[in-house]
Amino acid sequence: MGVLKDTGAIEYSKGLEGVIAALSSISAIDGNEGKLIYRGIPIEMLAKYSSYEETAYLLLYGDLPTREELDEFSSQMRELRILPKKVEDCVKELPPNPHPMDILKVAVAHAGLYDPDQYRCCREGVMRKVIRIIAQIPTIIAYYHRARTGQEIVPPDQNLGHAANFLYMLHGKKPDEEEARIFDIALILHAEHGLNASTFAAMVTASTLSDINSAIVSAIGALKGPLHGGANERVLKMLDEIGSPDKAEEYVLNALKEKRRIMGFGHRVYKTYDPRARILKEYAEYLSDKYNDRKYISIGEKIEEIMIRELGNKGIFPNVDFYSGIVYQFLGIPRDLFTPVFAMARSVGWAAHVCEYTQNNRIFRPRAYYTGPDYVEYVPIENRR
């Protein structure tokens, strides 16, 4: 009986580490130099000069928009951020205890049922669906939070940009302009990052020619996993446990001795400082001084010093999650909404890769190297022990 066993030389890379699975012009990461570019533009430039709307346009269409293109795109985002009434009612009725990432998964899938472009496959129809999802996710998150805390929902303010409007819907009051700008920058930094697990999940779903809504729901499910999303939530929990900078050394060394991971450190691609973490650290510092509360930043900087001393030679440095939680905490974002906020930002990266990949589509279908027995007789159940 011939066997199906693989016999040739195998190119097996656990977790597809280092495997090139697509050609893409959307972004590039230099893991050794700690560089990140979106369509060729360094992330530092976009953080300094751009907005989330402008960056989303760049990622989706490939070039920076003209003033008219940006105005048109921004007004489409504002128009499409309104939830259909049935989706709004559904979000308000959902139970308060599941993790908000499960709520997001349900609500995005539900919203897809009312998408007027649901079955359109033409480029315009797909782009309208994409922009609608990107625009609606913040509304879903804010509405859910207001409902679960017994507060009246706050409909979007069409005079506010994407970042400011989210904080307005969440808190029920216009955000401080400076803080809205800091949140806008955080969204830019989280918008896109190549073939990370959630983006790849979206691409695999889309490669079967399933719809964009299903692809985004796949991505949300992947981002919920603690190795990918939610590390910033756990960083703050760790900072609370440590309590003060002088206790950081003992905590970190014990964790490393017990092979426990320090959240917010390490990365599959970056083997040096994550450039996004550098920028977020600046704002964590700024907000700590603005609010005269340096508890978290002082413990965080101590942990950074210890981790780089202990593991820097293994390429373990702060990643995007280490300082983002401190920023979000000062912006009044509840900790269990940190990962939904990550999803809100990354929705454009997910969509951009889905649109790009399906332009020259090939269904993802890797193989496994068979390590099972060559041949086993079938034994009738009465003869089995």
Using CB under 6 A as the binding rule, whether residue 261 contacts ligand SDX is answered as: yes
Look up 228 and say whether it is catalytic.
yes
From 191, 231, 331, 343, residue interacting with ligand SDX (rule: CB under 6 A): 231
CB of 147 to ligand SDX, least distance (A): 29
| Residue choice 34, 156, 264, 300 for contact with ligand SDX (CB under 6 A) | 264
Annotated catalytic residue, options 102, 171, 228, 336: 228
Question: Looking at beta carbons, which residue is closest to ligand SDX?
Answer: 266
Q: How far is the CB of 153 from ligand SDX (least distance, A)?
A: 30
Q: Which stretch binds ligand SDX (CB under 6 A): 131-139, 172-180, 209-217, 266-274?
A: 266-274
Q: Which stretch binds ligand SDX (CB under 6 A): 131-139, 201-209, 313-321, 361-369?
A: 313-321
Which residue in 171, 228, 295, 335 binds ligand SDX (CB under 6 A)? 228
In terms of DSSP H, where are the helices of the chain? 43-49, 52-61, 67-80, 85-93, 100-113, 123-148, 162-171, 177-190, 197-207, 212-223, 231-242, 248-257, 275-290, 295-311, 321-330, 338-359
Q: Is 193 in the site for ligand SDX (CB under 6 A)?
A: yes
Q: Of the two residues 153 and 255, which places its CB atom closer to ligand SDX in the complex?
A: 255
CB of 196 to ligand SDX, least distance (A): 3
CA 248 to chain centre: 28
The tokens of 170 are what? 């969440």
| Nearest distance in Å: CB 193, ligand SDX | 3
Active-site hit among 110, 145, 193, 267: 267
- The one-character DSSP state at 383 is G
Applying CB under 6 A, among 136, 165, 196, 324 the residue interacting with ligand SDX is: 196
Per CB under 6 A, the list member of 141, 239, 277, 320 interacting with ligand SDX is: 320
β-strand 27-30 against 35-38: which pairing, if any? antiparallel
Least separation in angstroms between CB 363 and ligand SDX: 23
Cβ proximity to ligand SDX, 43 vs 262, nearer residue: 262
Taking the alpha carbons at both ends of the chain, their separation in whole angstroms is 26
Distance CA 103, CA 221 (A): 11
Amino acid 90 reads C
Instruction: Sort 281 into a burial class: Cβ within 10 Å, 0-12 / 13-18 / 19+.
Output: buried
As beta bridge partners, residue 305 has none
Task: Please tell me which residue in 321, 336, 353, 374 is annotated as part of the active site.
Answer: 321
Least Å from the CB of residue 32 to ligand SDX: 14
Q: What's the Rg (C-alpha) of the chain?
A: 22
Binding of residue 35 to ligand SDX (CB under 6 A)? no
Rule CB under 6 A: choose which of 132, 146, 224, 267 binds ligand SDX: 267
The one among 58, 185, 201, 263 contacting ligand SDX by CB under 6 A = 263
Q: Which long-range contacts (CB under 8 A, 24 or more apart) does 42-47 make?
A: 43/188, 43/189, 43/275, 43/276, 43/279, 44/275, 44/279, 46/188, 47/185, 47/188, 47/189, 47/279
Q: Is the dihedral of CA 281, 345, 328, 165 positive or negative?
A: positive
- Own/partner pairs, 357-364, CB within 8 angstroms, 24+ separation: 357/22, 357/24, 357/203, 357/206, 357/207, 358/206, 358/207, 358/209, 360/23, 361/206, 361/207, 361/209, 362/207, 363/207, 363/208, 364/21, 364/203, 364/204, 364/207
φ, ψ of residue 318 to 5 degrees: the values are: -60, 140
Q: Could you confirm whether 99 is annotated as catalytic?
A: no
Instruction: Work out which of 160, 167, 316, 355 binds ligand SDX, going by CB under 6 A.
Output: 316
Shortest separation between residue 318's beta carbon and ligand SDX, angstroms: 9
Establish if 265 lies at the interface with ligand SDX (CB under 6 A): yes
Active site residue 171: no
Q: Catalytic residue positions?
A: 228, 267, 321
List residues binding ligand SDX (CB under 6 A).
193, 196, 227-228, 231, 261-268, 314, 316, 319-321
